[in-house]
């Protein structure tokens, strides 16, 4: 991809996009939680074609229209998020530190995506997720490293620190 196009997309992500790392409760998971990394670009529904154009260049993810007439282009998963963020990182301005932290999470996730991680490693990664939250403006965020730790302690997967 041309440098000017990468810079343009990075600017769009800086302004109308979001880079996220989340702790998601999963009942079927041994440790109860999954770490989800994602990149989301937003536009009004009538500009959905632009998000489709963007998807054509970045080659990952999906575009959907929400009930509030907003369209989202979402890229989810360690490998695709890593690939996109490493291309855009040199051109990001507002979200460069956040992008680097999510890249670091992706590197850890890619290396272990086919093997079960330990509860201690999940807690370490959950701490990294908490660090990324400082760069986003979420009013609804309730699941933190402490939530995961409480779950793991309750299920006797890590010792209690009484």
Which residues are catalytically annotated?
Answer: 15-16
| Cα separations in angstroms, 19 against 3, 6, 43, 57 | 21, 16, 15, 18
Task: Count other C-beta atoms under 10 Å from residue 148's C-beta.
Answer: 25
Cα-flanking dihedrals φ and ψ of residue 119, to 5°? -60, -35
Closest CA to 143 of 19, 17, 26, 18: 26
> For residue 71, what are the contacts with CB-CB under 8 A and spacing of at least 6?
42, 43, 44, 45, 47, 48, 51, 63, 64, 65
């Amino acid at each position: 991809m041309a440098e000017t196009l990468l810079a343009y997309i990075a600017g769009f992500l800086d302004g109308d996009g979001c880079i996220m790392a989340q702790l998601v409760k999963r009942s079927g998971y041994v440790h109860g939680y999954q770490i989800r990394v994602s990149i989301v670009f937003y536009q009004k529904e009538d500009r959905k074609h632009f998000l489709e154009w963007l998807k054509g260049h970045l080659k990952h993810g999906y575009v959907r229209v929400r009930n509030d007439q907003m369209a989202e282009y979402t890229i989810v998963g360690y490998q695709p998020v890593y690939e996109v963020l490493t291309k855009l990182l040199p051109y990001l301005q507002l979200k460069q530190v956040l992008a680097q932290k999510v890249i670091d999470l992706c590197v850890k996730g890619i290396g272990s995506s086919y093997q079960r991680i330990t509860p201690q490693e999940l807690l370490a990664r959950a701490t990294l997720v908490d660090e990324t939250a400082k760069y986003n403006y979420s009013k609804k965020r309730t699941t933190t490293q402490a939530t995961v730790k409480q779950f793991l302690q309750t299920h006797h997967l890590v010792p209690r620190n009484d």
